[in-house]
Structure 1
């Protein structure tokens, strides 16, 4: 839900027209270019939402609009308003500035370094200053003056401050006064709706006693925001808090799965975490859900913009300096989980969150959240990065994971073949699912762009290959036309983190491209042949995506069959056991994804048990399979080109 932006609104960071994003915790509207920088800062710095293509709680959007219209941006640019700043050469960015480095440097200084925020006079005891600010916040939230409270929060006031004399928190005060926008602001800065005052009452109790029923209902939603967001991510539904339903947990297909000892150990450690450490892990997963969903909206709204480049990609959660190095590593590795692996982790967290709230506790554990993340990372055997993905920064780790975990991972993913609904689906819930299809549409748009870019790259490679054949008597030459008669060695054999594909139910039917009894063969097909087959694959994928866009589910099966034929023909070009590890891995991903795509598409056949939620999930899985096929094909083109020209 959002209003139509007025033409007078401009980007808070560069003054560009028609900003389409909001920084929720900063109370500002920002343009696409500046948003690309905000996203790279991390949610601890800036929480971004699209004004039209992201679902908004109405009062949360109203809170941001109120802050923007009342000059909240001046809080973050206080010193720049001083005429002396112009004399010193300090200025804000303008629309004509380049994103990198100009706008990026300004935005980082403004929000990350807080370089332009008004500074209080230095005092010997910072804790006293924070306490004074928090007391001011406690008094201010009873009024509607949002920008005053944001200014206090920016200076260090604590949203969860417990007033020693009053015996309650700022959120209690705002709730008693019916200040719903103040409650939204406090919640954004971490205020807990479940905190009790000195009499054992929560802000929800205060709101109900004051007759502020809308505020009370919203506070309950805020209290369950984390688990609600995770559930909606999985199945497009939210719990009915008004009627006492606080959790939706997708059902597991088989509770007697033969899990590996490693998987059992990870689940046991997850359950034995203290509540505090479990909350940390859940928050990390929440941040990853936000990153994935925001990334989908970002790609869908750029419409082939030049902004979609390596410099604006946010491939994993940015480092939060307040967290340990190990926790940051674990957070970043969450991005490597594919859709099925990540969904399994989310289900485990939702299940344990419900168990904990109902008071079914287990014995405490001395293990910390970093160890749990490390165990889960090993349990969910993650892929290494592709050639076209940015490397992790110095915090990230590329440690090898055990091959044997792949089988246990396949067993765990069987659960996701089940109906993720929690019971009969009502008309209202069906409408919610239809709204959730926006996320699938975004993924379709993203993959469309990937395919278009791949087609362009293929045409360029074809031209280069033809030109090289004419210019050189030796067909195998590098793009710099430097002859190289060396025998190609195994591509990527020295990479620390090997890429692996998932093993899915039915994957045993997939022809093994690496039969053990076949001697390794270095011979690879010509680049021209691989490019030609890849073009056919991408053309068929585009047909499938158009069918998904137009909700033509009956077209899924014929499209998947054409893709399977094209993939089989491409795989047949390669020897049974290529010398290159990377070629074998890419072929395995290519063929297994094609088989799995057929399996997913068959779920749309009439007579199969299904519901609106099922269709939503099938579409998402079809898109994921298509993406994996396109990715593997691109890898094979890149690898073959390099090896043939070595």
Structure 2
């Protein structure tokens, strides 16, 4: 479906000639070498398609071409266009640069860390900013100005935003206006065509009412994108949605294997998953299908005499830091499945997706998705009892049967149960999580870039704060997370659980070591003391992030120890049992993140027993912990300043 590119088109990342790939969600065309880096980042960062050897929905390709031709790349390279960037030595990659480290470092900074994206002024209430941006998006999608909408989405506008006054979403507006390319862009960023407005109508309804039949048909396809992609992967056909056929369930050529007790047990466990866990598994399989199909195109199109494929291969799904360690491990294990095993899993998912849409789902089960993957996987060779020989990242214990799931960060108009039992199976959750990840990475990058600004802000607050007497505080606090001799169990944490401790043994809650008869104390330390400790924490975080940027992994442990000391000293300022729930929550986040940071940094020790450490995964977790610590410290400064000034 792709057109032949004009010779004037160049790679968005290195300006090399004749780009043959597209990054769909970034609206750019890229060359083979830069694409190899994009693929290693994962679909949550960049969704790549080959322009000539991958089937394209025509309007999706038209959307990407329109964005590219209208300068979408300037959104991701905003600050590089400033003449001051040239003076400071900051520049984009060029065709002559080596893929590693030059092009790779630039591409990661550009798309993963969003280092060059225009930043809005910092505001305490991020939700207000996101709401304002989403309202602008809501208004903009009725026009054909795609790059404006992409810019708003890059800044944090929500594609599924439900306008409280208008009573609908941006996709309703675009559909009513017949803006099919805007609908494509919104769908890439997670917009759900099945969402109802305040009148009970969906975007599909409005497209049909307006006579926009091509748009209506495309929206229906988007609703079934996940199951359509899985079916096409197995049999090369898609359902005929126009005639009411919404599912194709392929059959195995050798069905006798499917009747094995192993297959029956796996299918039963799959059916017993809750809707949320089932959808997570389906999305992970969707990502694995994309990886396998893109791998096939990649291998078929490379000039192996000039490009060393081994250095650019993506052997399993890249780590998505938005997901729990257990889920990341399960996703990576999908690459172990041979063709028959993987086809069996895909068929079971398609069958159960159809059952869940057309009938009532079975009651939820606590079965770990990892156990289902292990059951489906053909075990011709006897594995060890605990299966502690992972092929890839050892990011969680195989024996952990309590799967921590990732909650959607976007405002969801319907529950996932409703999505799967009452409506079509879509990739809404996948897109929402991806969208949330972009926002999260923006915050992480913001932390790395504005730590100095945070210090300045703290000093300003210090000058404004009243000089209150320092409150007496007990040096021993129940928030002192001095590590014990054993490493904490960090097998099932996710951002859903970040507000509670992810490192304590037991149920994951911070233990309250205060005496039972101790009454909650409303007394808070002075603002000056809290600010002083926060400044020390910020300074130590700066050192850690600098070490991460410079790949000085041996500095992680001493930096984490200094951060832990500063955090412990700050926590000791507060009473053992604060009266304010907000203070308690912030202290939990502060101390548990510092403790977990130490645990993550210990994984860099060369003599650490166990499987080899994936430094990339560790670094991602370290940065996230640092962000959580800084966020909690700033919350405590804000709280104490407000309370002490009242």
TM class by shorter chain equals: 0.5 to 0.7
**Residue 324 of structure 2 contacts residue 404 of structure 2 at CA under 8 Å; is this kept in 1?**
no
Q: Which one is further off, 107-116 or 390-399?
A: 390-399
C-alpha distance in 1 between matches for 2:507 and 2:614: 22
Tell me the CA shift for residue 367 of structure 1: 3.8
**Residue 521 of structure 2 contacts residue 579 of structure 2 at CA under 8 Å; is this kept in 1?**
yes
Q: Which one is further off, 404-413 or 321-330?
A: 404-413
C-alpha distance in 2 between matches for 1:531 and 1:126: 22
> Unaligned 5+ residue runs, structure 2?
none
Q: 1:504 to 1:425 in 2, by over 3 A?
A: farther
Q: Which one is further off, 347-356 or 624-633?
A: 624-633
Q: 1:535 to 1:242 in 2, by over 3 A?
A: farther
Tell me the CA shift for residue 171 of structure 1: 0.7
Q: 1:197 to 1:84 in 2, by over 3 A?
A: same
Tell me the CA shift for residue 46 of structure 1: 0.3
Cα shift readout 1:578-628 (whole Å, capped 9, x = no counterpart): 999999999999999999999999999999999999999999999999999
**Residue 474 of structure 2 contacts residue 573 of structure 2 at CA under 8 Å; is this kept in 1?**
no
**Residue 260 of structure 1 contacts residue 408 of structure 1 at CA under 8 Å; is this kept in 2?**
no
Q: 1:103 to 1:405 in 2, by over 3 A?
A: closer
C-alpha distance in 1 between matches for 2:546 and 2:236: 22
Tell me the CA shift for residue 166 of structure 1: 1.1
Tell me the CA shift for residue 150 of structure 1: 0.4
| Secondary structure at 1:116 match in 2 | coil
C-alpha distance in 2 between matches for 1:149 and 1:430: 20
Cα shift readout 1:257-304 (whole Å, capped 9, x = no counterpart): 785655434322211222222111111000000000000000100132
| Secondary structure at 2:133 match in 1 | helix
Alignment correspondent of 1:453? 453
Q: 1:513 to 1:405 in 2, by over 3 A?
A: farther
| Secondary structure at 2:610 match in 1 | coil
How many aligned residue pairs are there? 646
Q: Which one is further off, 36-45 or 461-470?
A: 461-470
Tell me the CA shift for residue 392 of structure 1: 1.9
Tell me the CA shift for residue 356 of structure 1: 1.0
Tell me the CA shift for residue 191 of structure 1: 0.9
Q: 1:540 to 1:174 in 2, by over 3 A?
A: closer
Larger Rg: 1
| Secondary structure at 2:22 match in 1 | strand
Cα shift readout 1:140-199 (whole Å, capped 9, x = no counterpart): 111101001100111111111111111111111111110000000011111111111112
**Residue 299 of structure 1 contacts residue 445 of structure 1 at CA under 8 Å; is this kept in 2?**
no
C-alpha distance in 1 between matches for 2:482 and 2:36: 39
Cα shift readout 1:96-145 (whole Å, capped 9, x = no counterpart): 00000000000000000000000000000111111111111111111101
**Residue 263 of structure 1 contacts residue 408 of structure 1 at CA under 8 Å; is this kept in 2?**
no
Q: 1:144 to 1:537 in 2, by over 3 A?
A: closer
| Secondary structure at 1:547 match in 2 | helix
**Residue 14 of structure 1 contacts residue 94 of structure 1 at CA under 8 Å; is this kept in 2?**
yes
Q: Summarize the alignment of residues 274-293 of structure 1 with structure 2, pairs less than 5 Å apart.
A: 274-293=274-293
| Secondary structure at 1:279 match in 2 | helix
| Secondary structure at 1:514 match in 2 | coil
> Unaligned 5+ residue runs, structure 1?
none
C-alpha distance in 1 between matches for 2:265 and 2:637: 40
Tell me the CA shift for residue 325 of structure 1: 0.5
C-alpha distance in 2 between matches for 1:575 and 1:525: 8
C-alpha distance in 2 between matches for 1:307 and 1:72: 28
Normalization by structure 1: what TM-score?
A: 0.60
**Residue 10 of structure 2 contacts residue 17 of structure 2 at CA under 8 Å; is this kept in 1?**
yes
Q: 1:495 to 1:611 in 2, by over 3 A?
A: closer
Q: 1:72 to 1:509 in 2, by over 3 A?
A: closer
Alignment correspondent of 2:204? 204
Cα shift readout 1:486-522 (whole Å, capped 9, x = no counterpart): 9999999999999999999999999999999999999
